[in-house]
Amino acid sequence: MHRIHDDIYTIQGLPIGRVYVIAGADGLTLIDASVEGAERAIERDLARAGYSLQAIRRILITHAHPDHVGALAALVRASGAQVYAHALEAPIIRGQQPVVYAATYKETALTRRISALIGIRGMPPSQVDREIAEGEVLPEVLPDLQVIAAPGHARGQVVFYSPARKLLFCGDAIARFGRLSLPLAQFTPDMAEAKRSIKKLATLEIETLCFGHGVPMKRRTSERLRAFAATL
Ligand SMILES: [Zn+2]
Ligand SMILES: [Zn+2]
């Protein structure tokens, strides 16, 4: 695991999709669950730090895309962890509703091949134990960890913010392709809403920005995010 901030780490060796680990007194909290099959890489990387999968107490899901919940069912089976997700994402995670992408997105043999090549596989259904919403605080994870709604890329996307640590886990609300970017258009059903979410997140004081993909940003973060939001 690579340490990002105090007791917060990111799993290394995943094909795609970041998984963050918060080490607490009662065990581990994961943020997102990468792709189907990634449970093996997660198990290996946790083991290097002296943890087993059974140390996972809970898994917070930012949104129900296959690169964020693919390994969720397997991780829950192995750990008995509690799953937290927004009420609009929970039925997708449970396999009761399909994932919603942009209206222009069409799945074809080619898109399936590309998905397979970059490591995206299936989305085995998983339980959701707790439905979370904007304004909630999750002291069992970090004393001041807030749930903030950031819809657009997914209707029920939530992000997690610690004001004391100036730390934001932003899921796919903000992308980093070298520079700060919008989420990928074909996987974003409501880009206008996604832009409003970025402007809202840009009002927070942030030092460490942990993306759903890419390397966390740690320098001049709020300044850069505000400059980016101003272009939208
Ligand atoms: Zn993603
Ligand atoms: Zn996504």
Mapped onto helix, strand or coil, the DSSP state of residue 83 is strand
> Do residues 184 and 175 lie in contact, with contact meaning Cβ atoms separated by under 8 Å?
yes
The residues that bridge with 60 in the sheet, in sequence order, are: 31, 84
| Range(s) of the domain holding residue 89 | 2-230
Ligand positioned closest to the Cα atom of 89: 2
Total of domains in the chain: 1
What token pair was written down for 4? Answer: 């990002």
- Encode pLDDT of 91-145 as tens digits: 999 999 999 888 877 778 877 777 777 777 889 999 999 999 999 999 999 999 9
Ligand 2 centroid from CA 172, angstroms: 5
Ligand 2 centroid from CA 50, angstroms: 30
Ligand 1 centroid from CA 2, angstroms: 20
Return the CA Rg of the chain.
16
**In this predicted structure, what is the pLDDT of residue 107?**
78
- Encode pLDDT of 195-218 as tens digits: 999 999 999 999 999 999 999 999
**C-alpha span between 37 and 15 (Å, rounded):** 10
Better pLDDT: 15 or 222: 222
Distant-in-sequence, close-in-space partners of 52: CB < 8 Å, separation ≥ 6: 43, 46
Residue 68: name the closest of 120, 143, 133 by CA. 120
What token pair was written down for 117? Answer: 């090549």
- Encode pLDDT of 18-63 as tens digits: 999 999 989 999 999 999 999 999 999 999 999 999 999 999 999 9
Distant-in-sequence, close-in-space partners of 157: CB < 8 Å, separation ≥ 6: 62, 63, 86, 89, 149, 150, 151, 171, 172, 173, 197
**C-alpha span between 25 and 205 (Å, rounded):** 26
Ligand 1 centroid from CA 186, angstroms: 12
- For residue 207, the Cα-to-chain-centroid distance in whole angstroms is 18
Ligand 1 centroid from CA 143, angstroms: 27
**In this predicted structure, what is the pLDDT of residue 135?**
96
**C-alpha span between 48 and 52 (Å, rounded):** 9
- DSSP single-letter state for residue 134: T
**C-alpha span between 59 and 69 (Å, rounded):** 10
CATH number, position 54:
3.60.15.10
